[in-house]
Amino acid sequence: MRDYKQFYINGEWVDPQTVNDFDVIDPATETVCAHISLGGEADVDAAVAAAKAAFKTYSQSTIADRIALFERIIEIYKRRIPEIAEAIRLEMGAPISWASSAQAYSGLGHLQEAAEVLKTFEWEEDLGDHRIFKEPIGVCGLITPWNWPLNQVSCKVAPALATGCTMVLKPSEIAPLSAYLYAEILHEAGVPAGVFNLVNGDGPTVGTALSKHPDIDMMSFTGSTRAGSLVAQNAAPTVKRVTQELGGKSPNIILDDADLTKAVKYSVREMFSNTGQSCNAPSRLLVPRKQLPEIEELAVAAAAKARPGDTAEKTTNMGPVVSDVQWNKIQGLIKAGIEEGAKLLCGGPGLPDGVDRGYYVRPTIFSEVSNDMTVAREEIFGPVLVIIPYDSEEEALEIANDTVYGLAGYIQTGNIERGRELARKLRVGNVSINGVEADYNIPFGGYKQSGNGREWGSHGFTDYLEIKAVSGYESA
């Protein structure tokens, strides 16, 4: 049992100002795996005050000092990857193989990329008699989700540290364990007191207090579109910058010249990875109607390779969803798909065969789905794939863009020019052609109700910077 009841404020682990214990549940066993405390406004005030005081000096630190700091953080992080992976396995149910190879290493990847960007980033430029400066925005409030715990922590903390900002992090109270280890890593690496602060808590209390706080200069939020909208509303009176990485219902278009076996296998695997709990999951599979029977057969065969089970076993490749709340939501949406007339190819309501506990969902595929059905409109956030047939490429594009979301898109084709042309027309922030994965140096973020701003790499620095123009700087 892990006991993580303290908060990290001003370089020290401190007790919360009000006792409010909270149980962290291992979703694979439905048992308590840790205890944390939920903070309140007073804890937020203390953390923000520490960050505000630290900004005066850390914002003036040299680039060489920040690079050296990142080198120490990265070295310690590498050493603690096994601990991080185990924490992620417990807090959100990732199979240990996935927690080790994908989840834990994603946090490291953002640190390494930020360190590389620091070495060459242009902080100043001259425009005639004027000099343009890029300066740290100030104190940042960071709110992160449970589905990619350290990926989302690191892609916010890394650019904040790199640009000279200070910060207060509120990780998800559902999956807070890896963030606690992250704080220990930063402390051991010598991050100056007050630069990084961590307060656990729920959204309505700690999240709202951060968003409204007059001494927070910028809010970076990842989570649901509903919660992101509330963050923006709470931040509006103090006119602070708000960046949001929100929901998605991403289209995955198989064109009629694609290698079907390869394309379908990829599509199902990507949808079921992380148990479907990724905002950019390719959850709507758009396929040529004339190829639908063959694609259905291939999809069912690919889904059969999902192996739900004990998350500590390396042979398990699908864990549970994160909570009973999520499980019940997904069950309701699966039932809605059946009631609205979608064709159930595999899966369905209930637990997978051989599983008698844990928040496991049967790997589910619907076919003959129309884009107005509930399962095609709502972000399910579980291992549920919907197959939508189309009759022309123009119709596929129309269906793909017919959503309030715009985070990601996927294209499978045998003709790269067709893929490039279609990618230009998708109203999304990220497109993958033929399964090419994103690197940590490209911008990540969405259009429409999938949010605003960009994270990752050099583009991820932008929202943490203010622009100052000094005229007459070069005058004699």
| Domain range summary for the chain, segments of one domain joined by + | 2-246+450-471, 251-439
Helices 81-92 and 63-79, packing angle to 10 deg: 70
Q: What is the pLDDT of residues 80-111, one digit of tens each?
A: 999 999 999 999 999 999 999 999 999 999 99
In terms of Cβ atoms closer than 10 Å to its own Cβ (0-12, 13-18, 19+), residue 437 is exposed
Residue of 198, 179, 190 whose CA lies nearest to 7: 198
Task: Compute the average pLDDT of residues 200-220.
Answer: 98
Percent of the chain scoring above 70 in pLDDT: 100
pLDDT reading at 252 higher than 80: yes
Q: What is the pLDDT of residues 416-466, one digit of tens each?
A: 999 999 999 999 999 999 999 999 999 999 999 999 999 999 999 999 999
Task: Compute the average pLDDT of residues 189-218.
Answer: 98
Radius of gyration of the chain from its Cα atoms, rounded to whole angstroms: 23
Task: Compute the average pLDDT of residues 392-412.
Answer: 98
- Computed over every residue of the chain, the mean pLDDT equals 97
Q: What fold does the segment set 251-439 form as a domain? A: Aldehyde Dehydrogenase; Chain A, domain 2 (3.40.309)
Q: What is the pLDDT of residues 298-319, one digit of tens each?
A: 999 999 999 999 999 999 999 9
- Asked if 379 contacts 277 with a C-beta cutoff of 8 angstroms, the reply is no
Task: Compute the average pLDDT of residues 110-137.
Answer: 96
Rounded CA-CA distance 335/374 in Å is: 10
Rounded CA-CA distance 170/200 in Å is: 5
What DSSP designation does 5 have?
-
Residues in the chain, total: 476
Rounded CA-CA distance 471/450 in Å is: 38
pLDDT reading at 324 higher than 60: yes
- Sign for the pseudo-dihedral over CA of 409, 411, 416, 420: negative
Q: Largest alpha-carbon pair distance within the chain?
A: 80
Answer whether 2-246+450-471 and 251-439 agree in fold: no
Q: How many CB atoms lie within 10 A of CB 128?
A: 8
Q: What is the pLDDT of residues 329-385, one digit of tens each?
A: 999 999 999 999 999 999 999 999 999 999 999 999 999 999 999 999 999 999 999
| 3-class DSSP string for 359-384 | CCCCCEEEECCCCCCHHHHCCCCCCE
Q: Which CATH architecture does the domain made up of 2-246+450-471 adopt?
A: 3-Layer(aba) Sandwich (3.40)
Q: How many CB atoms lie within 10 A of CB 430?
A: 24
Residue of 138, 190, 194 whose CA lies nearest to 163: 138
- Give me the active site residues, please: 245, 279
Residue of 209, 188, 196 whose CA lies nearest to 166: 196
Q: Is 195 left (phi over 0), alpha (psi -120 to 50) or beta?
A: alpha
For position 426, what pLDDT does the model report? 98
For position 1, what pLDDT does the model report? 82
pLDDT band at residue 51 under the 50/70/90 scheme:
very high
- Asked if 168 contacts 206 with a C-beta cutoff of 8 angstroms, the reply is no
pLDDT reading at 216 higher than 90: yes
For position 474, what pLDDT does the model report? 76
Task: Compute the average pLDDT of residues 37-53.
Answer: 98
pLDDT band at residue 414 under the 50/70/90 scheme:
very high
Q: What is the pLDDT of residues 137-174, one digit of tens each?
A: 999 999 999 999 999 999 999 999 999 999 999 999 99
What DSSP designation does 203 have?
I
For position 476, what pLDDT does the model report? 53
- Asked if 11 contacts 187 with a C-beta cutoff of 8 angstroms, the reply is yes
Q: What is the pLDDT of residues 172-195, one digit of tens each?
A: 999 999 999 999 999 999 999 999
CB-side exposure of 159: number of CA atoms within 13 Å? 28
